[in-house]
Amino acid sequence: MARSDDTTKGENKRGENNRGELAATGAATPAKSSSEADIARFLADVRAVAPLRAGEGRGRLAFALDATASRQPAWSLACEIQADMFAAAAAHGGLEMQIVYYRGKDECRASPFVADAPTLRRLMGRIACEGGLTQIHRVLAHLGREAERSGLKAAVFVGDALEEDGEALLAAAGQLALRGVRLFMFQEGENREVERTFRALAQITGGAYCRFDARSGDELRALLSAVAAYAAGGRPALEARGDTGARALLLALGGR
């Protein structure tokens, strides 16, 4: 996904299409594994999605998730919640949402932007979580390119771990801030180092940090629905909602 030094060569070879589909990085293996079958099904669905035209009055939101092995419960929950996110944005002009994920040794992909919950759910349903290290830097680099290409201004990240250089992530967040992209960082769990970095990423970009418990689906549902409303209608949309998720997000945003 990201054009970092270790992945540029592979991406230049295989490219990126005009609907946001990102080519796999790394060398192909002769035998198909179950994860490769998942990828094939995911890409088949991606190719079936008609590209959206920008500038149709809808907000745009990138929904990025850690899909490594420990994340399956949160991934399944996110598959359910995304429908509520579209519904929350409907009253404020609607929403186009893109799913971004990483898992395994070197897999990091993004879908096209879609404007309906069933299509996004079908795309997400093709992916099962798989063990691996975090690839947050690649996600941030993709968001930067997306901001230049499609005018993206808001992105959600949901995860529970950090296995990368924090300073490099902060530098990448600075580049997003220059492009006007706000990061909404959602942390599952209570790891202090993860919290410190996630908070800093949100602060640098003028976004917000929130902690959640995947066992409390209603909490995450309310928070993500509030972010979707914000992506569609800005701060006035949050103030108009007035529910617990909107109030929590307004508090996290402060005066921004």
Provide block-wise average pLDDT over 10 residues at a time, the chain (256 residues): 37 37 34 57 57 63 93 89 93 93 93 92 89 96 95 95 96 96 95 97 96 84 94 93 92 82
To the nearest 10 degrees (0 to 180), the angle between helices 244-253 and 217-241 is 70
Cα 198 to Cα 194: distance, rounded to the nearest angstrom: 6
Cα 25 to Cα 37: distance, rounded to the nearest angstrom: 16
- At 131 the pLDDT is 92
- At 7 the pLDDT is 35
The answer to whether the predicted template modeling score (pTM) of the entire model surpasses 0.95 is no
- At 126 the pLDDT is 83
Could you write out the DSSP letters of every residue in 183-226? Answer: EEEEEES--HHHHHHHHHHHHHHT-EEEEE-TT-HHHHHHHHHH
